[in-house]
Amino acid sequence: MENYSVKISVIMPVYNSGEYLKTAVESILSQSLREIELILVDDGSTDGSSERCDEFATSDERVKVIHQKNAGICAARNVALRIAKGEYLAFSDHDDEYLPGLLEDSLNFALENHLDIVKYGHNVVKIRGRKLIESRAVHFETKEYYKECVGDNYIKLFLQGALTCVWDGIYRRHFIISKNIQFDTFFTSGGEDVDFMGKIISCQPNLGTLSKVFYNHYIRLGFSTSTKFNENKILSSLSFPRRFFQYLTPYDFRKIVDDNSLLYVKLLMYETVGNAINILNSSQCPYNFKKKRELLDLIYVDKYIDHSFFKCSNYDLLKNSFSYGILYFLFKRRMYHFCFALYTIRSISGKF
C-alpha cells in the first residue's frame, strides 16, 4: 500500500470571502492532524482574497494556491481534485469553520473500518449581519454501511442530512479518482453537492457516519450566492427524480422504494416539490404565475417519479411530517396558490 505523506487534502474554493477567510483557513491549519495540505482555489476574487491566499501559502508550506478566472465552485473543486495528493479528501466552504479533532478522528475511523467515505455531524448557523437568526445541530449515529447497504439506506441517510453536502465528510481519494467522480459544472447555484454525493453512492462505497459534530456551516443571509435566484436551481430540483433513479441504478431500485415508500414521498417532497416551490416563491423569481404552474405541472408527467408517489396516504405523511403532509395535500390537488402561501409563512416564521 502506498505510504501517503499527506493524509488529507482539504479543498477550499475562494471567491470574495472577505473577513471570513482567515477564520476558515486557521480552523483547518490548527487541526491536530498535521499531515495535511490545504488547496485554496482562488476563483477570480476581486476583494483582496486572492492576495490573502498567497499570504497563507507564504506562512505555511502546507498551503497550496491556485489562481483562476471565475468559473464557479464546481470548476474550482475539480481543479483541486486533479492536484490533490492526500490519501483522503475533505472540503470546506470559504466562510465556514472546522472544529477541533475533525480530521484526525474521521481519518482514524475511516482507516480502522476500511471506509471510503466518513460523514460527521455539523452545526447549521444562520446569520444576518452579526445577528444570530437560528442554529441547529445535525447528528448521525456512529455506524458503518458497506456496499449494498448504502443503497438500501440512501433515502434515510439523505433525509438525515448525510448525503446533501460534501463539506461534512472525508473521501478516499483513490476511490473518487478511480471512479472518475467530478463535480458537474451545470450546477452554478446549488445542487452540486447532492449530485456529487449521488455519484459516489452509485459506485457502492463503504460509508460510515460519526456522531460527533465537527463542522460549523454558516448561512450568511445576503452574502452567499446560493440564496440568489438562478434558473438552474429550478432545473436542478425538477431533474432530481431522474438523477435519484440513476444514483440507485446499481441497487434494487424497486425494493428500495417499496421498503421506504413513505420516506420516498418525503424525499421528493423535500428535494423536488418543496425546493421548486421555495425557489419559485422567491421575491427574486421573475416568472408569472402561469409559468410557475407550468413548471410544477411537469412533476406530474415525470416518468422517473414512481407511481407510488401520488398514492401515498396523506394521513400517514401528516403523522411523519406535519408540514410536508400539508404541502403534499395541497400539491396533489394542484392548489399552487396555497402552496406558495405556505412558503411565505415559512419565510416569515423561519420554520417549516
CA-closest candidate to residue 282, choices 189, 217, 163? 189
User: Torsions phi, psi of 274, nearest 5?
Assistant: -60, -45
Please state the φ and ψ torsions of residue 283, each to the nearest 5 degrees. -65, -20
pLDDT values of the chain reduced to their tens digit, one per residue, 352 residues = 455 799 999 999 999 999 999 999 999 999 999 999 999 999 999 999 999 999 999 999 999 999 999 999 999 999 999 999 999 999 999 999 999 999 999 999 999 999 999 999 999 999 988 899 899 999 999 999 998 899 999 999 999 999 999 999 999 999 999 999 999 999 988 899 999 999 999 999 999 999 999 999 999 887 655 556 778 889 999 999 999 999 999 999 999 999 999 999 999 999 999 999 999 999 899 999 999 999 999 999 999 999 999 999 999 999 999 999 999 999 999 999 999 999 988 765 555 4
For residue 348, the model assigns a pLDDT of 54
- Specify the pLDDT at position 231: 85
Residue ranges of domains in the chain, CATH in brackets: 8-225 (3.90.550.10), 229-349 (no CATH)
pLDDT of residue 352: 45
Instruction: Cell numbers for 193, please give them.
Output: 453537492
Amino acid at 207: L
User: CB-based burial of residue 9 (10 Å sphere; 0-12 exposed, 13-18 middle, 19+ buried)?
Assistant: buried
What is the residue whose three cell numbers read 437568526? 133
